Amino acid sequence: MMNKAIVIYSGGLDSTTCLFWALDTFDEVYTITFDYSQRHSIEIDYAKKTLKLAESIKNKKINAHYFKIDLSQIGGSALTDLSIDVPKNRGEEEISNGIPITYVPFRNGVFLSITAAMAERYDVYNIIGGWNMLDYSGYPDCRDDFLNTFEKAINLGTKAGALGKTFKIHTPLIKMKKSEIILFGKEHGTDYSYAYSCYSGREVPCGECDACILRAKGFKEAGFEDDFLTRLKNESNNST
Ligand SMILES: [Zn+2]
């Protein structure tokens, strides 16, 4: 039987790592990318570029899906409400303390529900996400317990589950630090040239938001150059 998996794919560093791991691990890979009226749609443009790149590096077709859902109707987060500012230049301690204003109300629960529906429709029983507890300990819907319980809910609440199929939620990065994620990604040939993390939405990452700060630290500790910044440097050298 074909071993199929679906990756919840935002186009950021963690989900890009998951994508390359999935391409090495499963026969057939689906992705679902959410356009949830987030602050910036630039990450979706970059997600498309990484998907193309990954297909050519791994020589494998990806079944890419895009899903529109307007979470700005709910708001309550700096990522879905433009009147709330994204915090800048916070120290590491501050970042890891408490639930940040970039938390989107139950986003992972919403994404997982839709992903489970799509997985059931395509007979895909492996669901993969780049959830991570260490760097973003503040996001409660990224916790192990939550994800294990949600897996049970999917198996109880789907027709496929009732008929004896078993859905599994895979969390390969759940206990890794950012630097370990990057090392794990490199072991699987991950190219981060278009993996976009910044909350600013500018083509050149701001370097000041929580995501930029954690990413820079991760690459430094892992001992790798950030592919994204290397690409930008090369592009600006070529244009001058
Ligand atoms: Zn940034």
- Count of domains in the chain? 1
Tens of pLDDT, residue by residue over 184-214, are 999 999 999 999 989 888 889 999 988 899 9
CA 200 to centroid of ligand 1, rounded, Å: 5
* pLDDT of res. 191: 98
What span, in angstroms and rounded, lies between the C-alpha atoms of 46 and 99?
27
CA 87 to centroid of ligand 1, rounded, Å: 10
What span, in angstroms and rounded, lies between the C-alpha atoms of 125 and 4?
7
CA 202 to centroid of ligand 1, rounded, Å: 8
* pLDDT of res. 39: 67
Which residue type does 223 have? G
Tell me the residue range of the domain where 34 lies.
Answer: 4-239
CA 122 to centroid of ligand 1, rounded, Å: 36
* pLDDT of res. 1: 53
CA 28 to centroid of ligand 1, rounded, Å: 33
Q: Which residue has the tokens 């992903």?
A: 115
Residues with CB under 5 A from ligand 1 (ion): 198, 200, 205-206, 209, 212
What is the distance, to the nearest Å, from the Cα of residue 152 to the centroid of all Cα atoms in its chain?
A: 22
* pLDDT of res. 210: 83
Residue 84 structure tokens: 């709330």
CATH number for the domain spanning 219: value is 3.40.50.620
What's phi and psi for 83, nearest 5 deg?
Answer: -80, -10
122 vs 42: which has the higher pLDDT = 122
List the Cα angle 114/116/120 in 5-degree steps: 120
Mean pLDDT value across residues 66-92: 79
What span, in angstroms and rounded, lies between the C-alpha atoms of 47 and 52?
9
Tens of pLDDT, residue by residue over 142-186, are 788 899 999 999 999 999 999 999 999 999 999 999 999 999 999
Mean pLDDT value across residues 80-106: 74
Mean pLDDT value across residues 27-55: 91
CA 199 to centroid of ligand 1, rounded, Å: 5
